[in-house]
Chain A
Amino acid sequence: MSLIEVTGLNHRYGERAILENINLSVDRGEVFALIGPTGAGKTTLLRIIDLLEIPGAGEIYFDGKCIPRSGKQRLEIRRRMSFIHQKPQVFNLNVYDNVACGLIWRGEEKNNIAGKVDHILEMVGLKGYENRTARTLSGGEAQRVALARSLVLEPEVLLLDEPTANLDPVSTANIEQLISYVARQRNTTMIMATHDMSQGQQLADRIGVLLDGRLVQTGNATDIFRSPQNEEVAHFVGMENIIEGVIITNNEGIATVNIGGNAIQAVSNYPAGREVYACIRPEDITLALSSTQSSARNSFQAKVTQATSLGPLSRVEINCGFRLVALVTKISAEELNLQVGREVYATFKATGVHIMEKES
């Protein structure tokens, strides 16, 4: 049964609609990632779920019960959750008092508090910091205090708003490890907002794409990244190749798509005549100097129009009658000598092409 359910949620600030008709349900023990660009409404949605804000319209159910819009029950429910804000706000107290405050507010017995705080500080790697003034900590340390302060409460639901934005890669990795440890060990339900898609992919059981206040698509990582529902989602999840075309024939699930005079083959159930987008992830395209024999159904002769180094990978733009972007390892880029003007063969499988219907 779902632990948190949001139905028909609408919210606006003045004239501006922030959230539109959000319907979402998260099961107990599930890790749900909300991905979307900055300003999509992720924070507002989390704030409404944490009962910090009252939505303009819509209902929130917690553990099957509809939450009233005012009254004491909101505090009781809120105490079963904990929210880690994007910018960690530590109180101007020492680290121990920061971590202990939620327990004190819940009327926890004094004898228990010391043990719990001690344990959690050990877990986040801040043992020995008890008497440090929290304001003097670095960003990564402050985020760990914020995490400890929430985790010590052993909440049923943990809400995380961009928990690693503004952190360096090492601190980010630490926080991510902690989050996945808690999710596994304590079976804590989590809703996490992030604009970092790999983070969502890595940590979440299920992902929701929030664009412009609308929950456009929910599903597991494969669904979202391989089969985006529309052009917006495709763009956001890094489908660099989104090409317009028309289906010419469909032969038992293998469609031939006309793309500006070139025919590509893709797995799709849309019938002939349908206007579609063909999406190909850049890492699914292989480049070679000769047309190799392979099971891949699509092979095109092409010319390199641009090559950019991205550290261990190279991003190569090619023209094969239509524009494609491919990602290859740096080593193969060097071996193939992929410079502008170089002739190559681009190959990709029919299963590597995701067909979306063009929205009218």
Chain B
Amino acid sequence: MTEIWHGLTKAIELIISLDPYVMEIAGRSLSISGTACLLASLICLPLGSLMHFRQFRGKRALINIIQTLFSVPTVLIGLFVFVLFSRAGPLGELGIIFTPTAMVIGQMILITPLLLGLTISALSGVSKEIVDTATSLGASGLQTVLLVLREARYAVLVAVIMGFGRAISEVGCALMVGGNFKDVTRVLTTAIYLETGQGELELAIALGIILLFLALIINIILNRLQQR
């Protein structure tokens, strides 16, 4: 018990003193997950719009599959990306295994179903009457899609933030395809895993608090948006 208490005070010390090691890891977490989230959004927002506005066979089934993949285990994505980019794998020649790039790709794949699914449901929240009104005011197909995205902007932003939250808090994939190398691919979650294993509980708790703090900020933003 004293250990935990000691860990907490030490953690706060590390955070207040802006300890370079801690700050660097937190920064890397933010940039890798932020990049993954940004890229995934760039793919999922247009793709989700397309899926929402187009009628095609098997649409319902596809949406079901996407929703199932919301809870895909991170280690499974880790395995998939590892096999794809490992030296002997089909894309091994790119040499990106154990680099932040591989982590970004892994997290992108991980959050794509979530972003797609939530984008589609955000757009479904915009009534058919709004779409009709835009059409009869002379909006082209693309202009209508942009308006509907704008109408659903808060719900779409919620989707993006949820995706970011899942990316920054996952450990399985980051560990497997990043390798947890110091100064290169070590992020908050993998660092907590490592430091705990090495008995550096204070450091692990400090990193944990930062992660929770980030989660808190995300939640505050989410709440604000949902109240609109």
> Per-residue 0/1 for B131-170: is the Cβ within 8 Å of any A Cβ (1 yes, 0 no)?
0111111111001000100110000000000000000000
Determine if A153 and B130 form an interchain contact, defined as CB atoms under 8 angstroms apart.
no
Q: Which of A82-90, A169-177, A235-243, A331-339 touches B?
A: A82-90
A110 partner residues in chain B, CB cutoff 8 A? none
> Per-residue 0/1 for A67-82: is the Cβ within 8 Å of any B Cβ (1 yes, 0 no)?
0000000010011011
Determine if B136 and A91 form an interchain contact, defined as CB atoms under 8 angstroms apart.
no
Determine if B137 and A153 form an interchain contact, defined as CB atoms under 8 angstroms apart.
yes
Determine if A85 and B139 form an interchain contact, defined as CB atoms under 8 angstroms apart.
no
Q: Which of A101-109, A244-252, A352-360 touches B?
A: A101-109
> Per-residue 0/1 for A136-168: is the Cβ within 8 Å of any B Cβ (1 yes, 0 no)?
000000000010011001000001000000000
CB B165 to nearest CB in A, in angstroms, measures 25
In Å, the complex CA distance between A153 and B151 comes to: 22
B135 partner residues in chain A, CB cutoff 8 A? 52, 78
Determine if A78 and B129 form an interchain contact, defined as CB atoms under 8 angstroms apart.
no
Determine if A82 and B151 form an interchain contact, defined as CB atoms under 8 angstroms apart.
no
Chain A CB within 8 A of B127 CB: yes
Cross-chain contact of B133 among A75, A89, A106 (Cβ < 8 A): A89
Determine if B147 and A91 form an interchain contact, defined as CB atoms under 8 angstroms apart.
yes
A81 partner residues in chain B, CB cutoff 8 A? 136
Determine if B137 and A105 form an interchain contact, defined as CB atoms under 8 angstroms apart.
yes
CB A71 to nearest CB in B, in angstroms, measures 12
Determine if B137 and A101 form an interchain contact, defined as CB atoms under 8 angstroms apart.
yes
* B138 closest partner in A (C-beta): A79
* B141 closest partner in A (C-beta): A75
CB A284 to nearest CB in B, in angstroms, measures 42
Determine if A105 and B136 form an interchain contact, defined as CB atoms under 8 angstroms apart.
no
Determine if A82 and B140 form an interchain contact, defined as CB atoms under 8 angstroms apart.
no
Determine if B130 and A91 form an interchain contact, defined as CB atoms under 8 angstroms apart.
yes
Determine if B138 and A93 form an interchain contact, defined as CB atoms under 8 angstroms apart.
no
In Å, the complex CA distance between A102 and B133 comes to: 10
Chain B CB within 8 A of A92 CB: yes
B139 partner residues in chain A, CB cutoff 8 A? 101-102, 105
B133 partner residues in chain A, CB cutoff 8 A? 85, 89, 91, 146
Q: Which residues B49-101 have CB closer than 8 A to chain A?
A: none
* A53 closest partner in B (C-beta): B132
Determine if B147 and A85 form an interchain contact, defined as CB atoms under 8 angstroms apart.
no
Chain B CB within 8 A of A50 CB: yes
Determine if A78 and B136 form an interchain contact, defined as CB atoms under 8 angstroms apart.
yes
A82 partner residues in chain B, CB cutoff 8 A? 136-138
CB A52 to nearest CB in B, in angstroms, measures 6
Determine if A105 and B129 form an interchain contact, defined as CB atoms under 8 angstroms apart.
no
In Å, the complex CA distance between A224 and B127 comes to: 38
Determine if A149 and B137 form an interchain contact, defined as CB atoms under 8 angstroms apart.
yes
Determine if A153 and B138 form an interchain contact, defined as CB atoms under 8 angstroms apart.
yes
Cross-chain contact of B143 among A47, A91, A105 (Cβ < 8 A): A105
In Å, the complex CA distance between A93 and B139 comes to: 16
Known: A101-B147, A105-B143. A89 touches B129 (CB 8 A): yes
Determine if B130 and A89 form an interchain contact, defined as CB atoms under 8 angstroms apart.
yes
In Å, the complex CA distance between A321 and B135 comes to: 58
CB A48 to nearest CB in B, in angstroms, measures 12
* B143 closest partner in A (C-beta): A105
Determine if A92 and B138 form an interchain contact, defined as CB atoms under 8 angstroms apart.
no
* B137 closest partner in A (C-beta): A102
* A93 closest partner in B (C-beta): B150
In Å, the complex CA distance between A159 and B151 comes to: 25
Determine if A105 and B151 form an interchain contact, defined as CB atoms under 8 angstroms apart.
no
Determine if B127 and A89 form an interchain contact, defined as CB atoms under 8 angstroms apart.
yes
In Å, the complex CA distance between A50 and B136 comes to: 7
In Å, the complex CA distance between A93 and B151 comes to: 8
In Å, the complex CA distance between A150 and B143 comes to: 17
CB B136 to nearest CB in A, in angstroms, measures 4
B150 partner residues in chain A, CB cutoff 8 A? 91-93
> Per-residue 0/1 for B113-134: is the Cβ within 8 Å of any A Cβ (1 yes, 0 no)?
0000000000000010110111
Q: Which residues A94-123 have CB closer than 8 A to chain B?
A: 101-102, 105-106
Known: A89-B127, A89-B129. A83 touches B136 (CB 8 A): yes
Q: Which residues A123-144 have CB closer than 8 A to chain B?
A: none
Determine if A75 and B132 form an interchain contact, defined as CB atoms under 8 angstroms apart.
no
Q: 6 tightest CB-CB pairs across the interface, nearest first? A: A83-B136, A79-B138, A102-B137, A89-B133, A89-B129, A105-B139
Residues of A whose CB lies within 8 Å of any CB of B are 47, 50, 52, 75, 78-79, 81-83, 85, 87, 89, 91-93, 101-102, 105-106, 146, 149-150, 153, 159
Instruction: Kindly list 20 other residue pairs between chains A and B, CB separation below 8 angstroms, not including A82-B137, A159-B136.
Output: A50-B136, A52-B132, A75-B140, A78-B135, A82-B136, A85-B136, A87-B129, A89-B127, A89-B129, A91-B130, A91-B147, A91-B150, A91-B151, A101-B139, A102-B137, A105-B138, A105-B140, A105-B143, A106-B138, A146-B133
Cross-chain pairs A/B with CB under 8 angstroms, 30 sampled: A75-B138, A75-B140, A78-B136, A79-B138, A81-B136, A82-B136, A82-B138, A85-B129, A85-B136, A87-B129, A89-B130, A89-B132, A89-B133, A91-B134, A91-B147, A91-B150, A91-B151, A92-B150, A93-B150, A101-B137, A101-B147, A102-B138, A102-B139, A105-B137, A105-B138, A105-B139, A105-B143, A153-B137, A153-B138, A159-B136
